[in-house]
Amino acid sequence: MNDPNSHLIYSTDKNAFPKLEKREPLPIQKDALIRLEYQTHGRKGKGVSLVIGLKGGDEAIASLAAELKKQCGCGGTVKQGIIEIQGDKIAFLKKRLEAEGFKMRLVRG
């Protein structure tokens, strides 16, 4: 293997490939201003509460969304870093996220 263009593709030796280290998930930044918005447009009349502007890792945002859904007792999802919670849960989300230390602005749409 003296050729610089050749590389190892397969080996039965367990130490031939380096192990990848697990990275810590990026935490959510609590100093950024987030928006809470209730939206029904384009959803066939069914409203969702949106948490917009969270900055941090996708895993951390997904775990926060799962925790919020469990505490609200309703469904939801995360799309492009925006947490969507089914129903009008703005008051609950405001109280819950303020307790965590987030700064927010309410938007009624």
Q: Report if residue 25 sits inside a domain.
A: no
Split into its structural domains, the chain has a count of: 1
Q: What size, in residues, is the chain? A: 109
Q: How far apart are CA 109 and CA 57, in angstroms?
A: 27
From the first residue on, what is the mean pLDDT of each consecutive set of 10 residues in the chain (109 residues)? Answer: 69 69 76 90 88 90 94 93 94 93 84
Helix H or strand E segment including 95? helix 90-100
- Which domain does 46 fall in, by range? 33-108
pLDDT at 82: 94
Q: Report if residue 48 sits inside a domain.
A: yes
Q: Report if residue 27 sits inside a domain.
A: no
Q: Report if residue 51 sits inside a domain.
A: yes
Q: How far apart are CA 93 and CA 69, in angstroms?
A: 10
Backbone phi, psi, residue 50, to 5° = -110, 140
Q: How far apart are CA 49 and CA 92, in angstroms?
A: 10
CATH number of residue 62's parent domain: 3.30.780.10
How far is it between the farthest Cα atoms of the chain? Answer: 67
pLDDT at 83: 95
Q: Report if residue 102 sits inside a domain.
A: yes
Residue (of 69, 55, 67) closest to 27 by Cα position: 55
